Amino acid sequence: MFRVIYQWQVPTDNMTAFRAVWQNTTDAIHASVDGALGSFMLQSAEQPEKVLTIAKWRSREDWLHFWGNSNPQSMQRMRELAKRISVETFEEIEDRTR
């Protein structure tokens, strides 16, 4: 498995809208892009405007095919509501969550 961590700066007054757009975007990508396995969202307890979205992909190749020019159209609305700070990729070694 392959994980991608996106860090966002989401203005507090945009959080509800960002969350709704992220849910729709994640569901649409999962349903239509080969290798996309969904995502989860974390919000910093200390810095409420700091949000991480962590996507799971079958492989790095699947994600690279989706990522293309690093500005996927399907993520446009998210970028209108928040500033994407960083994108970092990881090979998943082991997942022991339940």
pLDDT digits (tens, 9 = 90+) for 61-76: 999 999 986 778 889 9
**Could you tell me which of 42, 32, 41, 13 has the C-alpha nearest to residue 73?**
32
Both tokens of 7, joined, read 């860090």
| Residue 77 domain boundaries | 2-91
Residue 72 resides in a domain: yes
Whichever domain contains 24, its CATH number is: 3.30.70.100
- Roughly how many angstroms between the first and final C-alpha of the chain, as a whole number? 16
Residue 75 resides in a domain: yes
Residue 87 resides in a domain: yes
Residue 96 resides in a domain: no
The span from the CA of 30 to the CA of 78, in Å, is 16
Distances (CA, A) of 25 to 32, 39, 53, 55: 11, 10, 12, 12
- Number of independent structural domains in the chain: 1
Residue 25 resides in a domain: yes
pTM to 2 decimal places: 0.93
Q: Could you read off the pLDDT of 78-88 as tens digits, one per residue?
A: 999 999 999 99
Q: Could you read off the pLDDT of 15-71 as tens digits, one per residue?
A: 999 999 999 999 999 999 999 999 999 999 999 999 999 999 999 999 999 998 677
32 Cβ contact partners less than 8 Å away, ≥ 6 residues apart: none
